[in-house]
Amino acid sequence: MKNLFAAIRFITILPAGRSGDFDALGMTPWFPVVGLLLGALLAGFDLAATRLWPVAAVSVLDVILLAILTGAFHLDGLGDTADGLFSHRPQERILEIMKDSRIGVMGVVAVVSVLAVKWAGISGLAADRTALLVLVPAYARCGILFGMRALAYGRPQGGTGLAFFSRALRLRDFWALIPVGILSLTLGLPVLALALGFAAITAALVAYYRRRLGCITGDMLGALAEVTEAGLFLLAAAGGFR
């Protein structure tokens, strides 16, 4: 279980034992499971909070809770990615901008927009609200695996994410998609819309990354997770889930 605990420590602020060996490729397959854990905590909080406040207010708290539980880890990547990709600079300069800890206008706009979309989606959830709150964060972390598999790392000379790209992910590294898929079946027919939405968002972002830079970084993986999460919550609020 050390790889699960390492994954929890890496992408959340949740306590999961003491820091040990950093096995990047060992923890990566567990990211969707960590997403399920985040979703379960979110759903439990939502169930309790909706007994006290209106859904719209609780949805704001849900968004804040997700940011807190992840230490705004993916949001930081989203801001850096937006600053870089929307700067219309050459590839090397884009990568430099992403590495800058300061956030620019495009980063602020991207973070605020994604959080707003996420709130709009969560506040619009009706039927299967609890199940969707559990599943969507898991789908978002599944997207990280596909991003890693589809594109090469953009900082081969060294970077915080280099250890995760020491070899390509194998088919067996995607085993966590099975429990996520099984739990998704509790939604019935609407699961098709959720799965297709996940595939469309992930494929579109990976294609954009490929066209814009031809590679991917840790920040871009974080942006992938955040945009996927927001997009799926908004999709889940559509008529097919009511």
Domain residue extents for the chain: 27-157+169-241
Rounded CA separation 159/162 (Å): 5
Distances (CA, A) of 210 to 66, 205, 207, 213: 28, 8, 5, 6
User: pLDDT tens string for the chain (242 positions)?
Assistant: 889 999 999 999 998 777 666 788 899 999 999 999 999 999 999 999 999 999 999 999 999 999 999 999 999 999 999 999 998 888 889 989 998 888 899 999 999 999 999 999 999 998 899 999 999 999 999 999 999 999 999 987 777 788 899 889 999 999 999 999 999 998 888 888 899 999 999 999 999 999 999 999 999 999 999 999 999 999 999 865 65
Give me the count of residues in the chain. 242
- Cα first-last separation, the chain: 38
Cα–Cα distance for residue pair 100/124, rounded to 1 Å = 36
pTM: 0.94
Distance CA 135, CA 137 (A): 6
pLDDT value at position 20? 67
Question: Measured at the alpha carbon of residue 231, what is the angle toward residues 228 and 237, in degrees to the nearest 5?
Answer: 140
Token pair 């997009």 is found at 231
